[in-house]
Amino acid sequence: MKLTFRWYGDSDPVKLQYIRQIPSMTGVVTAVYTVPVGEVWPKDDIENLKKTIHDRGLEMEVIESVPVHEDIKLGLQTRDKYIENYKQNILNLAESGVKVICYNFMPVFDWTRTQLDKVLADGSTALVYYMEDLLKMDPLNGELSLPGWDSSYTKEGLREVFAKYKNVDEEVLWKNLEYFLKEIIPVAENCGVKMAIHPDDPPYNIFGLPRIITNEQNLDRFLKLVDSEYNGLTFCTGSLGCASFNDVVKMVDKYASLGRIHFMHVRNVKLLSDGSFEESAHYSSCGSIDIVKVMEALHKNNFTGYLRPDHGRMIWGETGRPGYGLYDRALGAMYISGIWETLNKSKK
């Protein structure tokens, strides 16, 4: 297991030198954020990013994300141009030493929450998803914006892209994903980059848009679309675990034993009645996911991929990017490393 930390570049209030000070941290997970979705990242930008990171004694072996252009998800004629660009990005990143690329295939929106600063009983704040509030959200009013969402849409642009999804149901989305994978996985194989799809968060259709990377049956189907080690998963315990139909520990065990998990996002969520959930501290009893069992499943299967502590709460007065402050994620990192060290030492 290689422990990593997400870093949003020079504008991130969490500085590389702070990340380096977390014991057992090997590298950061980042991206080139200045290029519009679908375009080729300039090689210089990639190399400069790498140099900044290496100068601070950290590695840049995982990219999160190279976003997939909407035309690819929609299966439009224009997709081929964007797929060629995507292949070029894989090749360029491989040349700069990148080993894993994380991406997702969620239509229009990335991860969704109904509030980013819910005050919990202990005074910390966390990201939450309350069903009642979700039903009141109007994704088309142009006012909704969450971290991770493509912010380049105008209100009109959003309406247009929504309209294009009218005829894209889950089966069409599967076809479009298959087309994309059949093009890019051979390229990834040739240059030694493992592709790792991120599950949909939450793992079911929202706002009338289809979502397919959602549960065990669909993950099985995904892995078979191109049955190659290079077509793998970013296994996010929080995204899959916020729906009670997913048995996260069992799924980690299964996909790790198949060698198809290349990147782990480890975080905890507390499931409430009616499908709502609150993000919680990593510590098992704070949420509904048994993090020790997740780590045991990885250890048992000799997991050698990358792992990062995912979303943290805001604690100790920290302000910053929701889910991505320093303190709670650093606590999570140490908790995870502690479990891992114990598992290593108890293995005879």
311 among known catalytic residues: yes
Q: Is 312 in the site for ligand DNO (CB under 6 A)?
A: no
In angstroms, how far is CA 32 from the centroid of its own chain?
16
Q: Is 280 in the site for ligand DNO (CB under 6 A)?
A: no
Q: Is 101 in the site for ligand DNO (CB under 6 A)?
A: no
Q: Is 64 in the site for ligand DNO (CB under 6 A)?
A: yes
Calpha distance 311→127 (Å, rounded): 9
Q: Using alpha carbons only, give the angle 319, 324, 325 rounded to the nearest 5 degrees.
A: 40
Strands 27-30 and 277-280, by their bridges, are: unpaired
Cβ proximity to ligand DNO: between 37 and 272 the closer is 37
198 among known catalytic residues: yes
Least distance from C-beta 65 to ligand DNO, angstroms? 3
Q: Of 5, 41, 82, 103, which lies in the binding site for ligand DNO, with binding defined by CB under 6 A?
A: 103
Given 71, 103, 230, 236, which residue is catalytic?
236
Q: Beta-carbon neighbour count of residue 249 at 10 Å?
A: 19
Note whether 130 and 224 are within 8 A (CB): no
User: Which residues have CB under 8 Å from 16's CB, separation 6+?
Assistant: 7, 28, 52, 53, 56, 58
Q: Of 5, 41, 111, 230, which lies in the binding site for ligand DNO, with binding defined by CB under 6 A?
A: 111
Strand partners, 277: 129, 271
Q: Is 196 in the site for ligand DNO (CB under 6 A)?
A: no
What is the dihedral sign for C-alpha 39, 42, 46, 49? negative
Q: Is 7 in the site for ligand DNO (CB under 6 A)?
A: no
Q: Of 38, 305, 323, 325, which lies in the binding site for ligand DNO, with binding defined by CB under 6 A?
A: 323
236 among known catalytic residues: yes
- φ/ψ (deg, to 5) at 255: -75, -25
Residues 134-193 that bind ligand DNO (CB under 6 A): 148
8 among known catalytic residues: no
Q: Is 114 in the site for ligand DNO (CB under 6 A)?
A: no
- Chain positions contacting ligand DNO, by CB under 6 A: 64-65, 102-104, 110-111, 148, 198, 236, 265, 311, 323
